[in-house]
Protein backbone atom coordinates (compact mmCIF):
# COMPACT_ATOMS: atom_id res chain seq x y z
CA UNK A 1 0.00 0.00 0.00
CA UNK A 2 2.77 2.43 0.99
CA UNK A 3 4.53 1.79 -2.36
CA UNK A 4 1.32 2.51 -4.21
CA UNK A 5 0.97 5.86 -2.38
CA UNK A 6 4.65 6.79 -2.99
CA UNK A 7 4.46 5.82 -6.69
CA UNK A 8 1.21 7.77 -7.12
CA UNK A 9 2.74 10.82 -5.41
CA UNK A 10 5.94 10.73 -7.51
CA UNK A 11 4.01 10.27 -10.77
CA UNK A 12 1.65 13.12 -9.83
CA UNK A 13 4.60 15.45 -9.17
CA UNK A 14 6.21 14.53 -12.52
CA UNK A 15 2.89 14.94 -14.37
CA UNK A 16 2.37 18.30 -12.62
CA UNK A 17 5.71 19.53 -14.03
CA UNK A 18 4.30 19.05 -17.54
CA UNK A 19 0.69 20.10 -16.93
CA UNK A 20 0.95 23.41 -15.08
CA UNK A 21 1.55 26.27 -17.54
CA UNK A 22 3.88 28.01 -15.08
CA UNK A 23 6.24 25.02 -15.10
CA UNK A 24 5.81 24.21 -18.78
CA UNK A 25 4.70 27.27 -20.79
CA UNK A 26 5.76 25.65 -24.08
CA UNK A 27 5.27 21.87 -24.31
CA UNK A 28 8.46 19.84 -24.29
CA UNK A 29 9.42 18.31 -27.65
CA UNK A 30 13.00 17.28 -28.41
CA UNK A 31 14.71 18.69 -31.50
CA UNK A 32 15.18 16.44 -34.51
CA UNK A 33 17.93 13.90 -33.85
CA UNK A 34 20.18 14.96 -36.79
CA UNK A 35 20.52 18.56 -35.59
CA UNK A 36 23.66 18.24 -33.40
CA UNK A 37 25.60 16.68 -36.31
CA UNK A 38 24.26 19.24 -38.80
CA UNK A 39 25.21 22.12 -36.49
CA UNK A 40 28.70 20.74 -35.83
CA UNK A 41 29.32 20.58 -39.62
CA UNK A 42 27.94 24.10 -40.06
CA UNK A 43 30.13 25.51 -37.27
CA UNK A 44 33.21 23.76 -38.68
CA UNK A 45 32.55 25.20 -42.16
CA UNK A 46 32.32 28.68 -40.61
CA UNK A 47 35.10 28.16 -38.10
CA UNK A 48 36.60 31.61 -38.46
CA UNK A 49 33.36 33.36 -37.46
CA UNK A 50 32.33 30.96 -34.70
CA UNK A 51 35.78 30.85 -33.08
CA UNK A 52 34.95 34.34 -31.77
CA UNK A 53 32.03 33.05 -29.69
CA UNK A 54 32.17 32.16 -26.00
CA UNK A 55 28.89 30.47 -25.08
CA UNK A 56 26.25 28.28 -26.72
CA UNK A 57 22.90 28.70 -24.94
CA UNK A 58 19.86 26.43 -25.34
CA UNK A 59 16.88 28.51 -24.21
CA UNK A 60 14.35 25.96 -23.03
CA UNK A 61 16.78 23.05 -23.11
CA UNK A 62 14.24 20.28 -22.41
CA UNK A 63 16.00 17.04 -21.43
CA UNK A 64 19.28 18.43 -22.80
CA UNK A 65 19.50 16.02 -25.75
CA UNK A 66 20.73 18.71 -28.12
CA UNK A 67 23.08 20.65 -25.86
CA UNK A 68 24.68 17.63 -24.20
CA UNK A 69 25.37 16.12 -27.60
CA UNK A 70 27.00 19.36 -28.79
CA UNK A 71 29.03 19.77 -25.58
CA UNK A 72 30.36 16.26 -26.04
CA UNK A 73 31.07 16.24 -29.79
CA UNK A 74 31.72 19.83 -30.84
CA UNK A 75 35.46 19.70 -30.20
CA UNK A 76 36.54 22.41 -32.65
CA UNK A 77 35.61 25.25 -30.27
CA UNK A 78 36.38 26.17 -26.72
CA UNK A 79 32.81 27.24 -25.87
CA UNK A 80 30.90 26.96 -22.65
CA UNK A 81 27.38 25.52 -22.83
CA UNK A 82 24.41 26.89 -20.92
CA UNK A 83 21.11 24.96 -20.64
CA UNK A 84 18.26 27.14 -19.33
CA UNK A 85 15.04 25.30 -18.49
CA UNK A 86 11.93 26.17 -16.46
CA UNK A 87 10.51 22.66 -15.96
CA UNK A 88 11.98 21.30 -12.67
CA UNK A 89 11.67 17.66 -13.71
CA UNK A 90 13.66 18.27 -16.92
CA UNK A 91 16.24 20.27 -14.94
CA UNK A 92 16.61 17.38 -12.49
CA UNK A 93 17.02 14.98 -15.43
CA UNK A 94 19.75 17.19 -16.98
CA UNK A 95 21.56 17.52 -13.65
CA UNK A 96 21.68 13.73 -13.28
CA UNK A 97 22.93 13.51 -16.85
CA UNK A 98 25.63 16.09 -16.17
CA UNK A 99 26.70 14.34 -12.95
CA UNK A 100 27.19 10.98 -14.66
CA UNK A 101 28.63 12.39 -17.88
CA UNK A 102 31.19 14.71 -16.22
CA UNK A 103 30.41 17.70 -18.42
CA UNK A 104 32.73 20.36 -16.96
CA UNK A 105 31.97 22.84 -19.80
CA UNK A 106 28.18 22.72 -19.35
CA UNK A 107 25.97 24.55 -16.86
CA UNK A 108 22.33 23.60 -16.20
CA UNK A 109 20.17 26.42 -14.87
CA UNK A 110 16.63 26.18 -13.49
CA UNK A 111 15.19 29.51 -14.59
CA UNK A 112 12.68 31.35 -16.71
CA UNK A 113 14.67 32.44 -19.76
CA UNK A 114 13.15 35.94 -19.52
CA UNK A 115 14.39 36.33 -15.94
CA UNK A 116 17.85 34.72 -16.02
CA UNK A 117 20.82 37.09 -15.60
CA UNK A 118 22.92 36.39 -18.70
CA UNK A 119 26.50 37.62 -19.04
CA UNK A 120 25.73 39.69 -22.11
CA UNK A 121 29.36 40.85 -22.34
CA UNK A 122 30.13 37.41 -23.78
CA UNK A 123 29.47 36.48 -27.40
CA UNK A 124 26.59 34.03 -27.48
CA UNK A 125 24.86 31.64 -29.84
CA UNK A 126 21.22 31.17 -28.80
CA UNK A 127 19.40 28.00 -29.83
CA UNK A 128 15.60 28.18 -29.79
CA UNK A 129 12.95 25.58 -30.44
CA UNK A 130 9.80 27.30 -29.21
CA UNK A 131 6.29 28.21 -30.29
CA UNK A 132 6.13 31.21 -32.71
CA UNK A 133 4.69 33.43 -29.97
CA UNK A 134 7.49 32.65 -27.50
CA UNK A 135 10.11 32.75 -30.23
CA UNK A 136 9.18 36.32 -31.23
CA UNK A 137 8.87 37.50 -27.62
CA UNK A 138 12.25 36.07 -26.73
CA UNK A 139 13.93 37.55 -29.81
CA UNK A 140 12.61 41.01 -28.89
CA UNK A 141 13.95 40.50 -25.36
CA UNK A 142 17.40 39.38 -26.57
CA UNK A 143 17.69 42.04 -29.25
CA UNK A 144 17.68 44.82 -26.67
CA UNK A 145 20.56 43.27 -24.72
CA UNK A 146 22.64 40.82 -26.72
CA UNK A 147 24.71 40.72 -29.84
CA UNK A 148 25.18 37.34 -31.45
CA UNK A 149 23.53 34.60 -33.41
CA UNK A 150 20.12 32.97 -33.03
CA UNK A 151 19.48 29.48 -34.38
CA UNK A 152 15.81 28.59 -34.57
CA UNK A 153 14.54 25.12 -35.36
CA UNK A 154 11.20 24.74 -37.15
CA UNK A 155 9.95 28.35 -36.99
CA UNK A 156 11.37 31.16 -39.09
CA UNK A 157 12.08 34.27 -36.99
CA UNK A 158 10.39 36.98 -39.07
CA UNK A 159 12.12 39.95 -37.47
CA UNK A 160 15.72 38.77 -37.98
CA UNK A 161 18.13 38.69 -40.89
CA UNK A 162 18.58 35.04 -41.94
CA UNK A 163 22.22 34.15 -42.59
CA UNK A 164 21.41 30.61 -43.65
CA UNK A 165 18.40 28.31 -43.78
CA UNK A 166 19.56 24.71 -43.48
CA UNK A 167 17.12 22.11 -44.79
CA UNK A 168 17.04 18.95 -42.69
CA UNK A 169 16.25 15.40 -43.79
CA UNK A 170 12.81 15.63 -42.12
CA UNK A 171 11.92 18.55 -44.43
CA UNK A 172 12.11 21.17 -41.64
CA UNK A 173 14.62 24.01 -41.44
CA UNK A 174 17.21 25.37 -39.08
CA UNK A 175 17.32 29.17 -39.39
CA UNK A 176 20.65 30.75 -38.54
CA UNK A 177 20.09 34.49 -37.94
CA UNK A 178 21.97 37.60 -36.85
CA UNK A 179 20.53 39.21 -33.71
Given the complex with ligand SAM, which of 8 and 114 has the nearer CB atom?
A: 114
Binding site for ligand SAM (CB under 6 A): 24-26, 28-31, 58, 60-62, 65-66, 84-87, 90, 112-114, 129-130
Cα–chain center distance at 7: 30
Q: How far apart are CA 136 and CA 24, in angstroms?
A: 18
Given the complex with ligand SAM, which of 62 and 148 has the nearer CB atom?
A: 62
Q: Min. distance of Cβ 87 from ligand SAM in angstroms?
A: 4
Q: Min. distance of Cβ 48 from ligand SAM in angstroms?
A: 26
Contact 43, 71 (CB under 8 A): no
Given the complex with ligand SAM, which of 7 and 177 has the nearer CB atom?
A: 177
Closest CA to 79 of 69, 70, 91: 70
Q: How far apart are CA 131 and CA 1, in angstroms?
A: 42
Given the complex with ligand SAM, which of 32 and 50 has the nearer CB atom?
A: 32
Amino acid sequence: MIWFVITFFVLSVIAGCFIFPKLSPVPYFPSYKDIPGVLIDFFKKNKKEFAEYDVFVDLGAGDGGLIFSLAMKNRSFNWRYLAVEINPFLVFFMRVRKFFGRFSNLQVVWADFFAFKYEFSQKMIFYLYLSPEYLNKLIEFLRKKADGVVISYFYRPDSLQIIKAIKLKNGRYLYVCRL
